[in-house]
Structure 1
Amino acid sequence: MNHPRKPPEQRLFDPKTFEDETTWKTLNTHDPGIFKDGENYYSFSTDAMYREEERPPFRGGVQVRRSKDLVDWEWIGHAFDGVPKQAKEWTGADGLWAPDVIKVNDTYLLYYCASRFGTRQSFIGAASARSPEGPWTDLGEIMKTAEGDDLEVNAIDPNVLFDREGRLWMVYGSFFGGIYILELDRQTGKPLAGGTGTLLARRDRNIRDGAIEGPYIVYHPQHDYYYLFVSYDSLFSNYNVRAARSRSITGPYTDYLDQPMTDTQHAEPSRIGVKLLGGYRFGTGAGWLAPGHNSVLEDNGVYYMVHHAREENNKSCFHLHVREMSWTKEGWPLVSPERYAGEPPRIISPSEIAGNWEWIIHDPDTDSIVEAIPNSLLADGSLSGPAEGQSWRNVDQEIIELRLSYPWFGGETCKLMSCRGSIQPAWDWEMERTTLVYSGLTENGIAVWGKKISSLEAY
C-alpha cells in the first residue's frame, strides 16, 4: 500500500527557536505566497514573528523559504534589507506584508506591500530579479492609497497572475472597499491604466468592518473557471478561507448557491462564499486557529493550498500549512483535512473505509474552532449514532456519498445532510501515524472533513 512517509519533525511552540531564523522552518510564516521554480518550491511571506515584549523588533524585508517537497522547509533569508525607500516613506512601516512572485519571460517579479495597520495608508511595490533567491532590484510604486483620499480600496495583499489569454493581472485589497483587479503591463509589471480596477468582492462595512482580504485567483483549465479565494474575519481569531468562481477573470464571482461575492444586501453575510477551511480541532488535542490568507500552487496538474494557521494554545505562534486540494466533478475545490506529507494518491477499498471516524463540518455561521464529532462507518453501509437514515456508500471508485446527521447552521436541531467527496491516505499529524481522510461538499455547498481514527475492533 502507498502510505505517506513520516514527515520531518516540526516543533510547535518552542521559545528556543524564536531568536534563530535559520531554525524557523514553518514557524513564523504569515500570509504565505507560493512559487515553484525548477525543482524548488519557494514561500515568500509577511515580516512577522512571535516575540515577547522584551525582545527587539523583527527585521523587515520579506521572509523567504525553500523546499524540495513541500514538506521540509529551509530558511533562505530576506528578499530586502529592510523596507524599500518609497514604501517606508509613504507608510512608515517596519516590515512588508503579503508578497507574491511571478515569472514574466526571464524576469522574476516580487510584489510586496506596506501599510499602517488598520488604515488605508498603504503601498504596493514591486522588485525584479534573475533568480527567485535574488538579489532583488526595487522597481518602486505599483499603486498606493491614503487615509482621507476619495478611493475605497486599500492597496495591500497583491496577487499577480496570467489569464487564459496570457494577459497579466493583479488582484488586491483588504477590508474597506473590498477586493479589486486591474490589468498590468507585461513589459513593466505596472498598471496599464489609472484607477483601481474592477470590484470582485466586498462585505458590508457593518460586518466586522467589511472583513475580507488576502485575495488569490487560480485558473483551472479542465473546469474552465477562475477561482477567487479570500479570507474572512479577523486574522487573530476567526480567519477562514472562502471560494467563488467565474468564467471571466474580472467576474462576476459567485459561490455554490450562485450568490455574488459583491452582494452586501440580500444574502446572509456569513454564508456568502464556500467556506473551505476554518479553525478546527480533531480529537482531544490542541487544534488550529484562524487559518487563512492562502495562496494556491498548481504543480503538474495537482493543486495545493498554502496558508498560515495559529496554534490554539498560543495564538501568537503561527505556521506554514500546505494541503493537497481536490475538485468535485462539478468543479468546486476541496482541501485535505490534514497537512501534506508527500502521500501518493490511490484508490481506497471499501474494506479500508469501515472504522471509527471523526467529522468536522465547516459551518459558515461558526466563528470559533469547530470540534470534531465521532461517528463510525460500519461495514454494512450504515453509520453509528442515534439519528436514523445515516449511511455511506461508494458511488464509484473515487466518490463516497455520506448521509450524516449534524446540528445545521449552529442550530439545536440535527438535520440529515447529503455529502459527496473522496477518501485518500494521509499523515495524521495529531496522532503521528498514517490514516485515511475524507473531504467533500454537501448539497448546500458546506465543506465536510473526516478522519479515520481506528478500526471498528479498536473502538
Structure 2
Amino acid sequence: MEAQIQVQYPDPPPDYAMLDVPAIDTETEWKISNVHDPSIFKDGEMYYLYSTDVKVGGSPGAGIMVRKSADLIRWEWVGYALEGVPREAADWTGATNLWAPDIAKLGDTYYLYYSASTFGTNRSYIGVATSASPEGPWTDQGAVIKTAPGDGPNAIDPNIVRDAQGGYWFVYGSFFGGIHIAPLDEGTGKLKEEGVGIHIAARDRATEEGAVEGPYIIYNEDTGYYYLFVSYDSLYQDYNVRVGRSEQITGPYLDAAGRDMKDVAYRPQYEVGNKLIGGYRFSAGDGWLAPGHNSVLQDENGADYLIHHARPEADKNWMYLHVRKLVWTADGWPTVSPERYAGEREQDIPEQELYGDWELVAHAKYMDGIVPSYKVTLHEDGRAASEYGELSWSYDGKRTLSLSMQEEAADRSVDEPPVEVQVLAAWDWELKRPTLVFTGLDSEGSALWGKKLP
C-alpha cells in the first residue's frame, strides 16, 4: 500500500491584537499595526521593513519607520531611520512626515530612498540617505528627483530594481503623469541623466478612481519577464494591486489580455492589469479593505512574497502589514495566497484532502471595495455544487486544481474557460486553525481564491 502523504501545516502564528487602542502611543507594541506603503529588504538572515510615517489617532513621528523580523511573521520595532524630514525636502514640499520608502544595497553601501509631499499636489521630492548598516545611522544625500505643479510626473513612491544584466533602474510615480523609469548611477545612487525617464504606466488622472501608484518591479529568471506591480484607486476605499509584464525593463508592460499598462483608452475602473488582490471578506471574521502599495521579496530559497498594507473592515483608520506567499501560474503570472503568511511552504497535497466545502472569492476587475465569499462543495466524483452554476473539477495529484464552470445566460448555458489554481497548506487567520487554500487567475486576469471550510 502506498504511504499516505502527510500535509505539513504552519504552526500557529502570534495573535497580535487588532484595533489595539491601549498601545496606540507605544511604538514598540505596534508590531504589524501602523504600517503603510511597506518596503521589504533582506540583509543576511534578517528581514527589514521600511514604511510611511503614520499613526492611528494622532500625529506620527517623522523619519521613516523601521521594523525587523527573523521569519516574516514576528515583527520587532527598530525606530525611525531619520530624525525628521530633511531640510531640503521640507523646504521644497512643506511635508511634515515622509512617505513610501525603498531600500537598496549598492556595493557596500545601503541607500534609503524616501518621499516628501503633501496630499493632492505634485510638488514632491524623492531623496536618498546612505548608511553602512540597514539599521543606520543614515546620512542624507539630498534629492534624487523633484517635481512641481505643471510637471508631468509626481516624485514619490521610489523603487530600485536591478535588471537581468546587472544594471540598476529608478522607478517612481503616483497619480498625475503615471509611472516612470530611469537608469540609476550605481556609484551615487542618483539618476544617470537629467529628465523624468521613460513612461511605463498611466490611468485617467481626472479622478481618484483613476489613480495608479506604488510601482514595484521584479525580474523572474525562470520566465524571462519583468513584472510591474502597481496599486489602483482610492487608498481608503478600493485600493487593489495590479500587474503587467514585459520582456524589457522599460516596457511595454502588458497584462494577460495583452493590454498596455499605460494605455488610457480603456476604462480606468477595471480593464487594464491583472488584479491580484482587492478588498475581501470570508464568511468568518471581518473583511479587509483597500490592500495595496506592495513590495515583493524574492528570497534566496526560491520563495516569493507579496508585502502590502490593508485596512480592517471594522475600522478603516487602522493600517496593518500583510505578508502573503506568492506563487506562479503555469503561464508565468504571479498570484498570491488568500491568507497571510504563517510559515507555509509549497508541497504536494493528496486529492482526498480537497473533498468538502470551500468558500471562494473572485476578485473581478469591476468589483470595488470588499468582495464577499461564496460557497462551493467539491465532490469526490469531480462534480461541484455552487450557487452560481454547475461546476466540475480535476486535480493533477500534486498541487494544481482545475475548475470549470457553466453559467446560465438567458436560454443557454455558457461554458467558462477552466481556471487552474495552486493549492497551499496555510493558516486560517479568521478561524485560527490550519486549512487548505488555493489561488489562481481566471481568463480575464482576475484572482480566484479558495479556502477550505472545517
With normalisation by structure 1, the TM-score equals 0.94
Q: Deviations over 1:188-218 (max 9, x none)?
A: 0111111100000000124536300000000
In the superposition, relative to structure 1, how do residues 320 and 266 fare at CA in structure 2: closer, same or farther (>3 Å)? closer
1:365 maps onto 2:366 in alignment: yes
- Which residue of structure 2 aligns with residue 140 of structure 1? 142
1:423 equivalenced with 2:423 (yes/no): yes
CA distance in 2, matches of 1:42, 1:414: 48
Number of matched pairs: 444
Q: Conserved in 2, the CA contact under 8 Å of 1:30 and 1:318?
A: yes
Matched AA of 1:306: I
Q: Where does residue 239 of structure 1 map in the other structure?
A: 239
1:6–1:433 CA contact under 8 A, matched in 2 = yes
Sort the Cα spacing of 1:310 and 1:249 in 2 relative to 1 into closer, same or farther, 3 A: same
Asked if 1:26 is matched to 2:32, the reply is yes
- Contact 2:375 2:387 survives alignment (8 Å): no
Whether the aligned pair in 2 keeps the contact of 1:392 and 1:401 (CA below 8 Å) is yes
After superposition, the Cα gap between the structure-2 partners of 1:62 and 1:20, relative to the gap in structure 1 and judged at 3 Å, is same
Name the CA distance, whole Å, in 1 between partners of 2:293 and 2:167.
24
TM superposition shift of 1:355: 1.1
Report the CA distance shift for 1:414/1:452 in structure 2 as closer, same or farther (over 3 A): farther
Secondary structure of 1:294's counterpart equals strand
The code of the aligned residue for 2:115 comes to C
8 Å Cα contact 1:98/1:112 also seen in 2: yes
Report what 2:48 is aligned to.
Answer: 42
Letter in 1 for 2:351: P
Task: Give structure 1 stretches of 5+ with no counterpart.
Answer: 455-459
Q: Does 1:76 align with 2:82?
A: no
Shift of 1:417: 4.9
Q: Percent identity?
A: 49
Structure-2 separation of matches of 1:271 and 1:34: 29
User: How far apart are the structure 2 equivalents of 1:387 and 1:234?
Assistant: 29
Trace 1:238-387 onto structure 2 (pairs within 5 A). 238-266=238-266, 269-300=269-300, 301-385=302-386
2:109 to 82, 107, 110: 107
Once the 2 structures are TM-superposed, how far is the Cα of residue 443 of structure 1 from its aligned partner?
2.4
SS at match of 2:155: coil
Contact 1:406 1:417 in 2 (8 A): no
1:397 shift after superposition: 2.1
Number of the residue aligned with 2:3: none
In structure 2, the residue matched to 1:128 is: 130
- Aligned-partner residue type, residue 39 of structure 2: G
CA–CA distance in 1 between the matches of 2:408 and 2:90? 49
| Mapped pair 1:13 → 2:19 | yes
Residue 94 of structure 1 deviates from its aligned partner by 1.0
How far apart are the structure 1 equivalents of 2:294 and 2:84?
Answer: 24
- Cα offsets for 1:300-354 (capped at 9, x unmatched): 2111000000010100001000001000111000000000000132211110001
For 1:327, give the aligned amino acid.
W
Measured against aligned partners, the alpha-carbon deviations of 1:280-312 in whole angstroms (never above 9, x if no partner) come to 000142100000000000002111000000010
Deviations 1:194-251 (A, max 9, x none): 1100000000124536300000000000001000000000001100000000000000
Report if aligned partners of 2:232, 2:240 keep a CA contact under 8 Å in 1: yes
Gaps of 5+ in 2: 1-6
Task: Please tell me the root mean square deviation across aligned C-alpha atoms, in Å.
Answer: 1.7
CA contact 1:239–1:278 (8 Å) conserved in 2: yes
Alpha-carbon separation, structure 2, partners of 1:237 and 1:414:
33
C-alpha contact 1:216 1:294 (8 A) present in aligned 2: yes
TM-score after normalising by structure 2: 0.95
Give the equivalent residue in structure 2 for 1:92: 94
SS of equivalent to 1:88: helix
Aligned to 2:270, what secondary structure does the other structure show? helix
Name the amino acid aligned to 1:357: W
Shift of residue 399, structure 1, vs aligned partner: 1.4
**Residue range with higher mean Cα deviation, 268-277 or 346-355:** 268-277
C-alpha spacing 1:388/1:197, structure 2 compared with 1 (3 Å): closer
Is 1:60–2:62 an aligned residue pair? yes
Helix, strand or coil at the partner of 1:315: coil
Where in structure 1 do 4 or more consecutive aligned residues deviate above 6 Å?
none
Deviations 1:363-410 (Å, cap 9, x if unpaired)? Answer: 0001120000011111111111356541111135231100246799xx
Query: Which residue does 1:399 correspond to in 2?
Result: 400
